[in-house]
Amino acid sequence: MTEERQPARRGRPPDLDARRRALDLAGEILRESGYAGLTMDLLVRRAGVSKKSLYRWWPNKAAVVAEALAQQAVVLPLPEQTDSRAELLSVARNARHYALTDELPLGTVAQQSAPDQQALSRSYIDHIVRPRRALAREAVERVIARGDLPEDTDVDALLDLWSGFAVYRQSVRGIEVTDHLIEQLVDMALAGSVPRLA
């Protein structure tokens, strides 16, 4: 009985360090020069990789940018707590943190990338917004399950209210969202002032 031979692999194995280096460089160039300043040729030169490798990893510049932005985004943990108020305070504080974080030069990218806006927006939602929202939703649902928020709480609307408040107050008006304000928002929610499902 003869052993079956596995077919030999062709070509060199993927260079994961080079891919990571190119992705890190893409993030640096975005911060330095914006979307317009990033080109595939520049990545080839600065990362020291072949153009063939670059296009094997990403089909175009928008794909590189989408992954670079997703890679540098932080998703803060929301571990389960026994105290509902503490749990909701963590959710609201995370919303404030995300509104303050300058990790995502999305405004610059959006202005300079008209042809690629749809792909970039989809990547931003899939890789950044959804993971953050999923953790926040789970935390609020735990509070509902304990009976500390109404059963018909519209979780999405509540999270939008808190996130929108933080973004507008800090990014548009330039006013700090203090812990005192966050505590008031949470206490209002715990007192029943939450949006309800229809």
On whether both 136 and 164 belong to a single domain, the answer is: yes
Establish if 127 belongs to a structural domain.
yes
CATH number at residue 66: 1.10.10.60
For residues 184 and 181, give the distance between their C-alpha atoms in angstroms, rounded to a whole number.
5
Among all chains, which residue has been given the structure tokens 């929610």? 189
Q: Give the per-residue pLDDT at 115.
A: 64
Q: Give the per-residue pLDDT at 65.
A: 85
Q: Which long-range contacts (CB under 8 A, 24 or more apart) does 106-113 make?
A: 106/69, 108/30, 108/34, 108/35, 109/30, 109/34, 109/35, 109/65, 109/69, 112/34, 112/35, 112/36, 113/35, 113/62, 113/65
Q: Alpha helices, DSSP H only, in 74-191?
A: 84-100, 106-112, 117-124, 130-145, 155-167, 179-190
Instruction: With cut-offs at 50, 70 and 90, classify the pLDDT of residue 177.
Output: very high
Span 115-128, pLDDT tens digits: 677 777 777 788 78
Please give the backbone phi and psi of residue 84, each rounded to the nearest 5 degrees, phi first. Answer: -65, -40
pLDDT at 129 exceeding the cut of 60: yes
Min mean pLDDT across 17-21, 182-186, 191-195 is at 17-21
Number of domains composing the chain: 2
CATH number at residue 170: 1.10.357.10
DSSP reduced 3-state for 9: coil
DSSP character at residue 196: B
DSSP character at residue 194: S
- Average pLDDT value for residue range 41-64: 91
On whether both 144 and 78 belong to a single domain, the answer is: yes
On whether both 144 and 122 belong to a single domain, the answer is: yes
Establish if 10 belongs to a structural domain.
no
Count CA atoms closer than 13 A to 36's CA, side-chain side: 5
Establish if 30 belongs to a structural domain.
yes
Span 13-43, pLDDT tens digits: 557 789 999 999 998 888 888 788 889 999 9
On whether both 40 and 90 belong to a single domain, the answer is: no
Q: Which domain holds residue 65?
A: 16-71
pTM of the entire predicted model: 0.74
Q: Are 76 and 86 in contact (CB under 8 A)?
A: no
- Average pLDDT value for residue range 88-114: 73
Establish if 197 belongs to a structural domain.
no
Examine the fold and report which residue of 31, 52, 71 is the final residue of a domain before the chain moves on. 71
On whether both 185 and 94 belong to a single domain, the answer is: yes
Establish if 116 belongs to a structural domain.
yes
pLDDT at 113 exceeding the cut of 70: no
Among all chains, which residue has been given the structure tokens 């690629």? 116
Q: Give the per-residue pLDDT at 5.
A: 52
Average pLDDT, the chain: 85
Neighbouring-strand partners of residue 196:
153
Examine the fold and report which residue of 71, 106, 136 is the final residue of a domain before the chain moves on. 71
- Average pLDDT value for residue range 89-98: 95
Min mean pLDDT across 1-15, 142-156, 165-179 is at 1-15
In whole angstroms, how far apart are CA 58 and each of 4, 13, 54, 67?
Answer: 35, 17, 6, 9
